[in-house]
Amino acid sequence: MKRKLLGIIDATTYHDDLEELLIHRSLAALPFAGRYRIIDFVLSNMVNSGIRSVAIFPKMQYRSLMDHLGSGKNWDLNRKRDGLFFFPSPVVDSNPNRVGSFDLFAANMDYFYRSTQEYAIISNCYTIINMDYKPILEWHHDMHCDITEIHHRDGRSMEMYLIKTSLLIKLIQSRNETGYTCMRDVVQDMHNEYSICRYDYDGYAVMVDSIASYYDASLNLLKPDVWGNLFVKGQPILTKVKDEPPTKYEKGSLVKNSMIANGCVINGTVENSIISRGVKIGKGAVIKNCIVMQKCQIEEGVHLDTVILDKDVRVEAGTRLSGTAHLPFVVRKGTKQGALMNS
């Protein structure tokens, strides 16, 4: 018997350690790997696992996220039945950084009542992973579990939960009587009445919860084995399609061990870096160990080492910026960096 899954993505999480990159966007919409957003990974996992109904629960700064996902067309979720649903949170302070808040779900109970899928997968929005949920669902069923919590091989909970939709509805409805406010409360209660199972996932997975983890996860993509574990044939990571020309490499430019997205113009040197769409790098500029987001302009003679440039940043000629692997230098979206500012 084919068992169907409902997809639920909690996009309300906010990590203080990522504040510099979350001023104008939600964590789910944080750019990654030059052409993706972080939510693309979990959402693509759901679509690749045959899920055709996905609900996303954002809270604040979700305009960028909604613009990126649109109708869900690029994920084949623009459907007459089921499809992609947005449910912005009316709850401001409910369970910060706890995935699967029952208060959030309670405000949109009609979605759950109308769902025809027998099971639901509840996930965070900030895990970089390529996972097929179908084998986990079969394991969950065969083990007679009420709730399965997915853990990484290092023992850390990935805050992904598999549960019968009917049981999820029951937990939401009874939250005031039980005191359970989210999925974590249920699985951590030693006296609960449910069969709680733990599924250990041994594949590649990174939870982005700080500038350092974001930086590491990004530059690790330059390693062939990591890239091969994330971008798997038959399980594509889908994203918003943008029609842009190929990147232009001018005479005298030099690129080593880097990812360069479409629409860029490269005149300088780029090493061990990730360059997003539409970036312009001037003559004599040297970019090493950096993450450069969309449409940044880097002028002549600039030297950047271990720097994260948010979108639409302009770095003026002759500027030198550097950070460390544990504390990359972050330049906020839409700002200007000049040599005089750093002297």
Average confidence (pLDDT) over 206-235: 96
Average confidence (pLDDT) over 155-174: 96
Give the model's pLDDT for residue 54.
98
Give the model's pLDDT for residue 99.
87
Give the model's pLDDT for residue 94.
52
> Domains of the chain by range and CATH?
5-230 (3.90.550.10), 248-342 (2.160.10.10)
With cut-offs at 50, 70 and 90, classify the pLDDT of residue 1: very low
Average confidence (pLDDT) over 219-227: 96
Whether residue 22 is predicted with pLDDT greater than 50 in this model: the reply is yes
**Separation of alpha carbons 287 and 302, rounded Å:** 8
pLDDT digits (tens, 9 = 90+) for 249-270: 999 999 999 999 999 999 999 9
The answer to whether residues 240 and 69 touch, using CB atoms and an 8 Å cutoff, is: yes
Whether residue 301 is predicted with pLDDT greater than 70 in this model: the reply is yes
Average confidence (pLDDT) over 70-95: 84
Whether residue 145 is predicted with pLDDT greater than 60 in this model: the reply is yes
Whether residue 89 is predicted with pLDDT greater than 90 in this model: the reply is no
With cut-offs at 50, 70 and 90, classify the pLDDT of residue 243: confident
Average confidence (pLDDT) over 28-52: 97
- 212-251 burial, b at 16+ Cβ within 10 Å, e below that, comes to bbbbebbbebeeeebeeebeeeeeebbbeeeeeeebeeee
Give the model's pLDDT for residue 2.
66
Whether residue 340 is predicted with pLDDT greater than 70 in this model: the reply is no
**Is pTM, for the whole model, over 0.85?**
yes
Which residues contact residue 156 at a Cβ distance below 8 angstroms, ignoring those fewer than 6 apart?
207
Tell me the CA distances in angstroms from 318 to 251, 253, 273, one per residue in order: 20, 17, 20
The answer to whether residues 196 and 149 touch, using CB atoms and an 8 Å cutoff, is: yes
Tell me the average pLDDT of the chain.
Answer: 93
